[in-house]
């Protein structure tokens, strides 16, 4: 077990030295990263202490398991930055008062900033939900794409994103259905990535689900659209907001908060895929 623990400590401690010798404009915040990573390494390396629950007898001797490793992410959440430049976003993520962060930032020229180790918890999802998961920050990787919220994403950004997603999926075994947007998990608060985001392109590569041709699709009369949205993963407590987020993602428009017949065909196909 000692060897396994040492391996885990080395992994976390290596985060601390990643930018420890920087001398650029982020030297100060990189030093803060290093300090926080060291603190996490100390926490992981500490011997577990007995929980002092009432009426629960504690063992006289600690016994540590030999079977463990680092927790791994199971979702990827895609955002647009809603800011005017990559540099502005980097600054936002390196000031403590912003209280927001992400694992990756992709600039317009395709440059990728890996700002936080994938095993650590970024503050990117906020108050959100997908299916039964209510603490999405603890199980996800956040990717921010430099975009003010209204413009198209550049070819360079999407190319870098596809390469990044391929690596993440391979490294962590993330299911295709678990590549989703910020608006999907927070329909009452968020609208990113914007409606120009190429979700179908991602789905064709295995990052997210998509629907097939709906020409001959017949939706059953008893089909419950709201229940289908819930099964797909959406929080349906505010149905209007949920429908809007669904249409932004899959219909690539958000002019209506009502499902029309074509929307229902798409939803019915997705519902069946999520049920498989």
Catalytic residues: 144
Pairing of strands 75-80, 140-145: parallel
> What is the SS3 assignment for the chain?
CHHHHHHHHHHHHHHHHCCCCCCCCCHHHHHHHHHHHHHHHHHHHCCCCCCCCCCCCCCCCCCCCCCCCCCCCCEEEEEECCCCCHHHHHHHCCCHHHCCCCCEEECCCCCEEECCCCCCCCCCCCCCCECCECCHHHHEEEEEECCCCCCCCCHHHHHHHHHHHHHHHHHHCCCHHHEEEHHHHCCCCCCCCCCCCCHHHHHHCCCCCCCCCCCCCCCCCCCCHHHHHHHHCCCCCCHHHHHHHHHHHHCCCCCCCCCCHHHHHHHHHHHHHHHC
Which structure tokens are listed for 248? 């932004």
221 phi, psi to nearest 5 deg: -60, -30
Strands in 75-80's sheet, in edge-to-edge order, are: 112-114, 104-106, 140-145, 75-80, 179-181
């Amino acid at each position: 077990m000692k060897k396994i623990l040492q391996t885990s400590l080395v992994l976390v401690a290596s985060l601390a030295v990643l930018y420890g010798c920087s001398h650029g404009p982020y030297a100060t915040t990189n030093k803060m990263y290093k300090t926080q990573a060291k603190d996490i390494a100390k926490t992981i390396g500490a011997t577990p202490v007995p929980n002092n629950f009432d009426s629960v007898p504690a063992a006289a001797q600690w016994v540590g398991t030999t079977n463990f490793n680092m927790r791994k992410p199971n979702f990827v959440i895609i955002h647009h930055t809603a800011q005017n430049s990559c540099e502005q976003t980097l600054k936002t993520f390196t000031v403590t008062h912003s209280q927001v962060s992400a694992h990756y930032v992709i600039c317009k020229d395709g440059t990728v900033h890996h700002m936080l180790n994938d095993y650590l918890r970024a503050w990117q999802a906020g108050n959100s939900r997908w299916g039964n998961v209510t603490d999405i920050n603890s199980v996800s990787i956040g990717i921010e794409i430099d975009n003010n919220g209204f413009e198209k994403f550049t070819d360079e950004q999407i190319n870098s994103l596809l390469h990044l997603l391929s690596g993440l999926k391979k490294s962590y075994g993330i299911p295709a259905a678990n590549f989703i947007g910020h608006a999907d998990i927070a329909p009452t608060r968020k609208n990113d990535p914007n409606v120009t985001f190429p979700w179908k392109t991602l789905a064709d590569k295995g990052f997210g689900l998509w629907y097939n041709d709906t020409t001959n699709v017949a939706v059953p009369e008893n089909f419950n659209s709201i229940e289908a949205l819930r099964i797909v993963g959406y929080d349906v407590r505010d149905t209007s907001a949920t429908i809007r987020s669904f249409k932004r993602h899959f219909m690539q428009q958000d002019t209506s908060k009502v499902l029309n017949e074509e929307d229902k065909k798409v939803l019915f196909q997705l519902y069946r895929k999520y049920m498989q």
